[in-house]
Amino acid sequence: MRLIGIYDADGTIIGELTYFWQKTFRGRHCTLCDITHGAIKMRSEWNLAVVELGLEFELLHRDETTHRHTLAQGYQPPCVLAENESGEIFLLLTSDELELCDKSPSALMTVIRSKIDEKTLSAE
């Protein structure tokens, strides 16, 4: 299984500047950005949490997604998608669930482990 985090921002320079402007002056934010990044760069806690999780975790901006990502039922950035061994992509975590992690990479990984366990048990 691999994970795909989708930011609610575009990855272009204009997209990044627009996001920064809206976050600074309009109070808009992306719950996944809040977990993975500090004020300027990727949080070291994020990198450690991903290593401890032991799964591939790709991060994409919404303009970097493919049709396969956007077809996942319930897809709405920011979110975390999962791709299983057969290549099926499904929604694992919504923005509301990311918000409950309170900007904590370790809390996110705990929720991910729980969701993966639920999916594994329901598939058996």
Q: Tell me, what's the pLDDT at 124?
A: 47
Q: Which domain holds residue 90?
A: 2-123
Which residues in the chain land under pLDDT 50? 121, 124
Question: How many structural domains does the chain have?
Answer: 1
d(CA 33, CA 62): 12
pLDDT per residue over 33-68, tens digit each?
999 987 778 899 999 999 999 999 999 999 999 999
